[in-house]
Chain A
Amino acid sequence: MESYLSILVGLYFACSVYLLLSQSLVRILIGIALLGNGVNLLIFTSGRITRGVPPIIEKGAKVAEASIANPLPQALILTAIVISFALFAFVLVLSYRAYQEIGTDDTAKMRIAEPIEPSHLPKGY
């Protein structure tokens, strides 16, 4: 099971890198979303998959009777999901605003902050 998931994670990363290398902001956004999901799956896999035993301990007991699924990756993923969701929402709105203001979503043409024409100091005064 872990091997299949690892391959899936690799696919996620490959697709996301391909999209991140694009010049269009929308593609980059999708790439970031894919990357975030790939990471979540990665953490899930690296915590080892145990089928069907929820990590619930009976009332009064201090430890589980049988072996249980590792609950820690779920806590980590939950944190990561919340964070990546919030940041993704931010960059989504930011991209839209940037598109409104600059009029393009082509990163090669977004040169307001760094104009292309060279600027030199005079040789002297």
Chain B
Amino acid sequence: MKTISTEGAMLQTVTAAIDWYILAPVVIPLVTAAILIIFRRSVGLHPYIALLALAGNIYASFELLMKVKLEGPLAMTMGNWLPPFGITFTADFLGAILTLTSSLAVFCVALYGMGDASSRERRFGFYPLILTLLVGVNGSFLTGDIFNLYVWFEVFVISSFGLIVLGGTRKQLDGAVKYCFLSLIATTLFLIATGYLYGLYGTLNMADLSKIVAPLKFEGPLVVVSGLFLLAFSMKAAAFPLYFWLPASYHTPKIVVSALFAGLLTKVGAYSLLRTFTIILPVAGDSWLMGVMFYVGVGTAICGALGAVAQTDLRRLFSFLLVASIGFMLIGISIGTETALTATIFYMVHSILIMTALFLVAGVIYEHRGSLDLRSLSGMNKDLPFLSLLFLGLGFVAMGFPPFSGFWPKFVLISETIKQEAYVGTFAIIFSSFLSIISLGRAFAFGFWRPLTPNAEDEVAAQAKKLSVYSKLQYLPVLLLMILVTIVGIAPGFLFDLSSMGAKGLVDTSSYIAAVFGGAS
């Protein structure tokens, strides 16, 4: 019997405790979700436990980001198997920034849920589901293995299935059918692409794939695989022409649930595109396929904004704005220069925060008026002055006015499209922003400025009596997000530095690969 050294394949020592840190943003919500299911009878405790854990999760994500900032990308492998054998977790700047942002967004959603999720809905698992959704999203941001990415996709997809039917009204079931079927098909397409990728190169580790694919030509089966990835992730990110499921479903579930979806889910699709076409398949990122993605992005930005102008339901209006924002990201990814990627990462962070906030503010409006239909909403600047100020502020953020966070990435992206002579992109971004100003301006004019319509007075008075004790508290998460985007807007330097380091790591993959394989040499 031969004796074989396992030195090249396995860590000979126990993984240092500090390396486990990278798992914290996944493990904390997962364990908390399990604890909440154990305490399923005492649903009164759920929000407190969840909020505590989520606060801890924000701290852990922040520490992870600081650690990445200090030491560069971090990596750890499960079960002592060295890459590419074991499943790798890799935290680079991109992953760490997005993990922190999504943890912040989920914290705000959980805070809002305190007043919004009834005890019946909590018994059906509202809090465990939002936590497992965060597990899936954070896992996607941090994993370094493409099959593992598929598994995390399914983790948040199944959680979102549970959340979208919570309540079970007719409208919800109709929206859920569209959402669930198309999500399932999109993730299956992703799995098909992963299967081909494995068949071609025999590995699923992102850093390993990057090394193998980098010297290849963009031809043959690689084109098919890249095209499939583009298709699958565009579907998940709600890009033109595959976005119709989003405005068909995002206005149907509970408002707090749609806030969570709007903040996180499409961004994971955009993140995966960013990851796939920079680190995993670098040659595809320099090919004609990016031209396709560019026009997909242009179509998304314009169609999304056009859709927003046509809506009368506030949540559907926001859904279309969400689609338009995905278009900006796709334009940024397809241009693919370091500056464009910096703007894309910045814009992603901004979009997670602002989209959550917009849907939550819709929730506050619904709480006070019992409707989100702009045909009947009216006169809110009279009796809800603070809310109208908040709505106007958030509107400015979403439109991209300075000094808020939306301005900077749009500014950089527009100047980069001009520099790269991609004038169609310049036009799309400006035109789409212009349309979003019209749609949000109209929403403000009708819902807030318009004097209270005479037949609405009784309804408003009736709704005011129904206000829950939590109605004041529901301003808090919106305010928190508003403060965050304002700080980011006034002092964008911090986030810009982080985003540009993230972009640098995507353009020059050597630090990512070194982090994964560093332990092996």
Contact = CB atoms under 8 A, between A and B. Distances in A.
Interface in A10-66: 20, 25, 28, 32, 35-36, 39, 42-43, 45-47, 60-63
Contact of B177 (A47, A95, A119): A95
B151 interface: yes
Interface in A77-94: 79-80, 83-84, 86-88, 90-91, 94
B177 A98 contact: yes
B161 A87 contact: yes
B181 interface: yes
Contacts of B199: 42, 45-47
B1 A25 contact: no
Nearest to B173: A98
Given A101-B170, A102-B173, A102-B174, A28 B181 contact: yes
Interface in B88-147: 147
B191 A113 contact: no
Interface of B: 1-4, 6, 147, 151, 154, 157-158, 161, 165, 168, 170-171, 173-178, 180-181, 184-185, 188, 191-192, 194-196, 198-200, 247-249, 251-252, 312-313, 374-375, 378, 442, 446, 450-451
Contacts of A98: 173-174, 176-177
Contact of B248 (A60, A88, A113): A113
A87 B191 CA distance: 14
A68 interface: no
A114 B151 contact: no
Given A39-B191, A45-B199, 20 more contacts: A32-B184, A43-B198, A46-B195, A46-B198, A46-B200, A47-B199, A61-B1, A62-B3, A79-B151, A83-B151, A87-B158, A91-B181, A95-B177, A97-B168, A97-B173, A98-B176, A102-B174, A113-B175, A119-B313, A121-B374
A112 interface: yes
Interface string A85-125: 01110110011011001100001001111100001111001
Nearest first, the 8 A-B pairs at minimum CB distance are A46-B199, A62-B4, A112-B174, A43-B195, A113-B175, A98-B173, A113-B174, A119-B312
24 contacts: A20-B185, A32-B181, A39-B191, A39-B192, A43-B194, A43-B195, A46-B196, A46-B200, A47-B198, A62-B2, A62-B4, A73-B198, A79-B151, A87-B154, A90-B180, A94-B161, A94-B180, A97-B168, A102-B173, A110-B174, A112-B170, A113-B178, A119-B375, A125-B378
A5 to B, nearest CB: 11
B192 A42 contact: yes
B4 A76 contact: no
A32 B375 CA distance: 40
Report whether over half of chain B's contact residues are helix, strand or loop; otherwise say mixed. Answer: helix
A121 B312 CA distance: 6
Given A20-B185, A63-B4, A119-B375, A110 B158 contact: no
A64 to B, nearest CB: 11
Contacts of A83: 151, 154
A94 B196 CA distance: 31
Residue of B185, B200, B251 with most partner-chain A CB within 10 A = B185
A13 B161 CA distance: 25
Nearest to A41: B195
A30 to B, nearest CB: 12
B79 to A, nearest CB: 13
Residue of B165, B191, B378 with most partner-chain A CB within 10 A = B191
Contacts of B450: 125
A35 B291 CA distance: 29
Contacts of B247: 114
B446 A87 contact: no
A42 B192 CA distance: 7
B156 to A, nearest CB: 12
A114 B251 CA distance: 10
Contacts of A28: 181
Nearest to A44: B195
Residue of B2, B4, B181, B375 with most partner-chain A CB within 10 A = B181
A13 to B, nearest CB: 8
Residue of B154, B157, B177 with most partner-chain A CB within 10 A = B177
Contacts of B181: 28, 32, 91
Contacts of B375: 119, 121-122
